[in-house]
Structure 1
Amino acid sequence: MFCGGQSLAETAVPAAPAAVAAADAKVSAIAARIDRDGATTRLIFELTAPTTASAFAATGPRIVVDLPEVAFLIDPAVGAPASASPRQRGATADSEASLIRSFRFGRFAPGRSRIVIDLTRPAKAGRVESVVRPEGARLEIDLVAENPAAFAAAVAQRVKAEAAEAGAGPAPAVREPAAAEMGQLPLVVLDPGHGGVDMGAQSRHGDMEKMVVFEFARALKAKIEARGRQRVALTREEDIFIPLNDRVRFAREHSASLFLSIHADTLGEASVRGATIYTVAARASDAESARIAEKENLADQAAGVEVNAKAEEVGDILFDLARRETRALGREFGQTLLSKWRETASLNKNPSRSASFVVLKAHDVPSALLELGYLSSEADLSNLTSPAWRDRAAEGVAEAIDAYFRAHPATSRASLK
């Protein structure tokens, strides 16, 4: 008999209204907890109705559970590591025996949701079943320890199958003509970082990066469109997971003239605050930039998507020249953004940096990444969650984008396409 009812965080309250309003799933998850029985660790989600689910092993080590779209009406903190919750410290004997380090959940794709379980050591899903108990419907995920070699073999088999499936898929979409060739306004692609099962950073109060940056991107989109001099597209229009390479592909296939990725990180030092603008470079400008890029580049893996290392495009001299010109334009935009941000909001002590971010690697789309501030700073957090601050800051970014295009009219982009 399972006992204990241990959860990694004690609360399981409704999620943010915006997330709830966006969900139109037929099944809702209303609570989650971890139980243990000897060598078996069971993760239980209380549901409003039964559903189907399947599981597989992933690098981490992790167990990934895929299911039809589910509305998770649960505080994401319920899956945080026990060490992140002061209330859980002290009851370590049982938690250390658990196979679950942490877990997260959310939309993975249209019509699909995902649960990603970070393991304390290799394990397998011995049983994944949606059942109806006297107290209601549940999704029960039973984990048992697995031999490391067997776990690695399972991951390798999955990666091989996914690679074969990807190779048999449709050819990449043909890119649209450049905006200048169509007589259209230049397109700005805004990329709200993270989303869905990939929650990004979180403040100690539970504020999630994926929601903070999404609200900022929407505010910025409205500011740009109100000026009427550029078109705008978002890489995600809702709380959903988008792989990193798909964000880059979206910008390229739509012939974007500028790409801006928006983030809000956390640091161990609460005193560090202010915005930072990153551009792409093969070698990071400093150790902290390298750390942040490495973490952001693993976002896919944290969502249960295996990262297939691919060599960067290698082409002829025309390709290399286009990439150099694109990166120079990205750096110029970064400096313009830096100047405008300084007029409206606070900057980090080292606000202009560079690193090898995957989302900034399009060879023909000038790109930059704006770190709005740090969720670990109370001062930044107060700003990031303030509609008034968001409005002022978004206005400053819109001005920077306008200034960039005044200096580089859309016709100058045709040579990069």
Structure 2
Amino acid sequence: MLLGAHEAAAKPAVLDIRVGQHPDKTRLVLELSEAPNYRVFLLPNPFRVVIDLPELDWSVPESKIPEGAGAINALRFGLFAPGTSRVVLDLKQPVLVKSAFVLPPKDGRPHRFVVDIEPVTLAAFNAAPAERLGASSEKPLRTTQTAAAATVQPKPAGDRRPTIVIDAGHGGVDPGATGVSGLLEKDLALEYAKELKSQLEATGRFRVVLTRDRDVFLALRDRIKIAHQANGDLFVSLHANNHKSRKIKGFSVYTLSEKSSDAEARSLAAKENKADIIAGFDLSEQTEVVRDILIDLAQRESKNQGNQFAADVVDEVGQVANLLGNPHRYAGFAVLKSPTIPSVLIEIGYLSNRAEEKRLRDKGYRKKLMSALSRSIGNYFQQNQTFNRY
């Protein structure tokens, strides 16, 4: 524990981030407390620059994060995996890496990590040599696996309690939705996940596993992997939503269907399913993984059980919270595509609605809402035990 505390205290810090447009390039500068090792690479479809660095303390407040400039449309940063922080630059067009280097402290400025990119045509991008598609420090950055590499502890022999897998949506370099006051979906989802875990464990009836317990990125397929490693009996993914109309508010629950219940459900699923792209994953070689996830959506038993649980959730939560119109909806969310584990995705409310965002921040409301969800989980398993007696 002391070693872990020392390592946490010793993490280098990002002190400032700047983006500048120049006649022949776009420049990203990170001011750091220490000189970093780094790895820079480009990804197409959509075009992105991905920058991996040692795990950092992001000391820059959200209000100081620069907007895009030049070839950069937007940027995100956060923990990608234990030991690795990641910056992802969304691009307006193809680019090549012009240079990447670290400047030592000078004239009162700390270490500066600089990446220069230059806009090019698609033809030039496709014809570029490997050295223009990335860069790395002289001392290479150590390769890390995603956070799901950690094996879930096996269920103790003789423990017959149902296993509930709670998935806090987004995380790390993928912030999710942003509220009207700057509240990030990834932070809110984790708070609600921890509250639900605490309430379920307090009953003594359930074994509870979190897909993540801190602000770290998890690939969509890894969330499913964790649920299977844990031998989950129910998978609950927690999220919060945004809407262009700030009047929209309310709680909703989604179950799997390739045919969405409405246009908004279809749009929401498309947005959530882009999480791996947002975090800088190269999906060009993931066809086999995707095929495995989609291997058999015809296992109707788990989908039917998910639908049954969703109905219980609507009944319980509807007594303590505002519900979205038609609160049980259907869409093709990637995290719901386990063929063996009943799964739901819950949108606890809308961060784009000022009153609802304020309510979602409230600890008392969080406790009340997760208490209703905890009761619905208890009801669901009680019903299943009753049915299984006959």
TM range (shorter): 0.7 to 0.9
Contact 1:24 1:71 in 2 (8 A): no
What residue number does 2:117 align with?
143
What residue number does 2:300 align with?
324
- Report deviation, 1:139: 1.3
Alpha-carbon distance change, 337 to 25 in structure 1, aligned in 2, over 3 angstroms: farther
CA–CA distance in structure 2, aligned partners of residues 393 and 41 of structure 1: 46
What residue number does 2:265 align with?
289
Alpha-carbon distance change, 362 to 77 in structure 1, aligned in 2, over 3 angstroms: farther
Alpha-carbon distance change, 62 to 112 in structure 1, aligned in 2, over 3 angstroms: same
Q: 2:73 aligns with which of 83, 101, 107?
A: 101
Aligned residues: 360
CA–CA distance in structure 1, aligned partners of residues 211 and 239 of structure 2: 13
What residue number does 2:99 align with?
127
What residue number does 1:233 align with?
209
What residue number does 1:403 align with?
379
Contact 1:191 1:260 in 2 (8 A): yes
Alpha-carbon distance change, 192 to 320 in structure 1, aligned in 2, over 3 angstroms: closer
Q: 1:261 aligns with which of 237, 254, 261?
A: 237
Q: 1:49 aligns with which of 25, 30, 34?
A: 34
What residue number does 2:358 align with?
382
- Report deviation, 1:400: 0.6
Q: SS state of the match for residue 114, structure 1?
A: strand
What residue number does 1:358 align with?
334
Q: Does 1:275 align with 2:275?
A: no
Alpha-carbon distance change, 223 to 80 in structure 1, aligned in 2, over 3 angstroms: farther
Paired letter, 1:368: V
**1:185-230, CA deviations, whole angstroms, 9 ceiling, x for partnerless residues?**
1110000000000111101321100001100110111010011101
Moved more, 141-150 or 347-356: 141-150
CA–CA distance in structure 1, aligned partners of residues 316 and 9 of structure 2: 40
What residue number does 1:163 align with?
none
Q: Does 1:207 align with 2:190?
A: no
What residue number does 1:73 align with?
59
Q: SS state of the match for residue 133, structure 1?
A: coil
Contact 1:28 1:47 in 2 (8 A): yes
Q: Does 1:37 align with 2:11?
A: no
What residue number does 2:138 align with?
none
CA–CA distance in structure 1, aligned partners of residues 236 and 340 of structure 2: 14
Cα RMSD of the aligned pairs, angstroms, is: 2.8
CA–CA distance in structure 2, aligned partners of residues 36 and 188 of structure 1: 49
CA–CA distance in structure 2, aligned partners of residues 153 and 395 of structure 1: 57
TM score, norm. by length of structure 2: 0.85
TM score, norm. by length of structure 1: 0.80
Alpha-carbon distance change, 154 to 366 in structure 1, aligned in 2, over 3 angstroms: farther
What residue number does 1:311 align with?
291
Q: How much identity, in percent, do the aligned residues show?
A: 34
Q: 2:12 aligns with which of 17, 27, 36?
A: 27
Contact 1:285 1:355 in 2 (8 A): yes
CA–CA distance in structure 2, aligned partners of residues 142 and 407 of structure 1: 60
Q: Which runs of 5+ in 2 are unaligned?
A: 1-5, 134-148
Alpha-carbon distance change, 152 to 298 in structure 1, aligned in 2, over 3 angstroms: farther
- Report deviation, 1:311: 2.1
Q: Does 1:62 align with 2:48?
A: yes
Contact 1:176 1:255 in 2 (8 A): no
Q: Which has the higher helix share?
A: 1
CA–CA distance in structure 2, aligned partners of residues 53 and 294 of structure 1: 32
CA–CA distance in structure 2, aligned partners of residues 314 and 202 of structure 1: 30
What residue number does 1:115 align with?
87
CA–CA distance in structure 2, aligned partners of residues 63 and 314 of structure 1: 29
Paired letter, 1:142: D
Alpha-carbon distance change, 154 to 217 in structure 1, aligned in 2, over 3 angstroms: farther
Alpha-carbon distance change, 156 to 314 in structure 1, aligned in 2, over 3 angstroms: farther
Alpha-carbon distance change, 255 to 268 in structure 1, aligned in 2, over 3 angstroms: same
CA–CA distance in structure 2, aligned partners of residues 195 and 410 of structure 1: 38
Alpha-carbon distance change, 303 to 155 in structure 1, aligned in 2, over 3 angstroms: farther
Q: Which runs of 5+ in 1 are unaligned?
A: 1-20, 83-94, 159-171, 413-417
CA–CA distance in structure 2, aligned partners of residues 302 and 151 of structure 1: 21
CA–CA distance in structure 1, aligned partners of residues 353 and 232 of structure 2: 33
- Report deviation, 1:114: 0.3
What residue number does 2:136 align with?
none
Contact 2:294 2:337 in 1 (8 A): no
Alpha-carbon distance change, 380 to 152 in structure 1, aligned in 2, over 3 angstroms: farther
Contact 1:277 1:334 in 2 (8 A): yes
Contact 2:50 2:87 in 1 (8 A): yes
Paired letter, 1:141: V
Alpha-carbon distance change, 370 to 64 in structure 1, aligned in 2, over 3 angstroms: same
- Report deviation, 1:80: 6.2
**1:236-274, CA deviations, whole angstroms, 9 ceiling, x for partnerless residues?**
011000000000011012110000000001110000000
